[in-house]
Structure 1
């Protein structure tokens, strides 16, 4: 691809801006045959006082101003009381806007004009079975608003155009489309015969989407969103650690998350085995997912397969193994590789191979003048 084409076509970025983590896919490296990712926790505090106190010691991810508010990224500081992202309309908040821009900047996209594809949970993306144009437009308008870095650090990416997908649909695009844009023959054959379901276990919610034969549409009556997410699971693990070791308060969430990954918890400088706590909490969590699955899908005997994705899927696999999902669905189960990045990869693939070059084109002479408020709605 020549320099002219690069100048005229915006760089595509897929970003799953979740309640727990912002996962970013910035491209595919054909030489290494690997995707290029960013992984940034959705943790920030309001105000700038901690910037001055903690910045001297390193570890602060950055400070930003937007919409007359200021935020400090809580990067690697487990004891900071970060803002809870499980708020109503998080996707339309100043906090979300800052976390999105921080992740883009940290991925090396400073001052880069981009075509950004993000997502919404199923219940927010759809209304009465059709794309919720008002919500989709509001999300893009929110991310088009200006964000400024406070202090030293890389610049802000230029969000020139945008697309928004339903998060479960994005994961399906990831499974269907290969990194070079060709279709995966196995998934293509499956969806030609029977619907495929997607179970996306995220930070705040679990989304279920049932995609119709030949991917023509979504079955809305068998799709939906429930407040069952990783952050709730971490709360329960923290409560059980507090009770077992008779602590005064629940341990900080980053330390609980580490305990879920390693099945060890550091207490008074010594590591304690908490595998029984983590595994029991994960089994209880899966029971909630299974109940929601049955309420929307039934036994799923009429589906060709279920695709499991999301950070919650990754955590369950690490704690209990892939066979744990048999308690949710006994049929053909497909667990995405690096399931926490499935939505971000699908968003990138959508921007690269479904959106036309004309839709994501920016004339070379206009790239430097790109307006942050220039957006385009894409509703597959």
Structure 2
């Protein structure tokens, strides 16, 4: 049994659990016009930005010039999660400390700055750290070095599904003998070059109104808004967490599954429904035992309809409360799934489902019991988190509320 004992959150709606959770329950949005660069020439000009973040508060000064913003977010999240878990890593054998992170966009901001220096001043102006700072695995590597995580290490690159896949892989490592895992996902995709790549997908919303640009399962849905940030968490085998007297157990990773959609034109449809059923089977629970679903919520009509069909197939029409709190942060790619897991754990702790901001007109082809403008008090024993990544990735993760008192309970 694998449990989560510490959480760290960096999001457009708050840095740290308390700030993030308060704004999430209030339905406060962090989406606004991009301020990290001038977006005037772009058809999509909104994003969820982490404004109140000082990298110097979380990252060793010697590493600031060597790392991208995606890694700064992960440093902050890991520091918060370790403190929240009241963990001293020195108490764990160094080769039994695992780290698995997810990333989708890489260190695009760092890479773009270095390429601009090369164009303006020649190759000698480019930092030697360009060779690693842009790479998807840089975050895992830097966390491993800084915290002495010399056990199994990994990197997941499955876009929005990555945050769940990282947790699924970390659970696998803990079952194979690791004693503790630092895991989750962060992304920082807000640079001019990165926005060009994102616009090429045709999935971004061009609506200039921050309250109407990203509306999952709404009749007015017309794409999504990107966001930056993510969540890092501490995972441990339950028996070890209880033996060391863990301060709290947020929840158990009760079930996990991943699938991959067939190529277009094959005549076979999306496989998110199968991922959900497999995750429920892994958790050994029936659909009726799920109390709340955190949906992927693409914000594009066709993808919303496909997800609604998958949820309806498993749970029945309006068969379970569904929420998409990321409507307040934007889709944070690999950070999004991890943040949804952290949000689900807080929801289970407090017995309340957070709202889906700004959604007022549920699409007629999405027969969901969507938690909309206000939080809903709800006893939550099991929560399901869904995520889909561009390219066909699907992941589903079942969380069980953290009320363990003995290893057998």
TM-score, normalised with respect to structure 2: 0.25
TM-score, normalised with respect to structure 1: 0.27
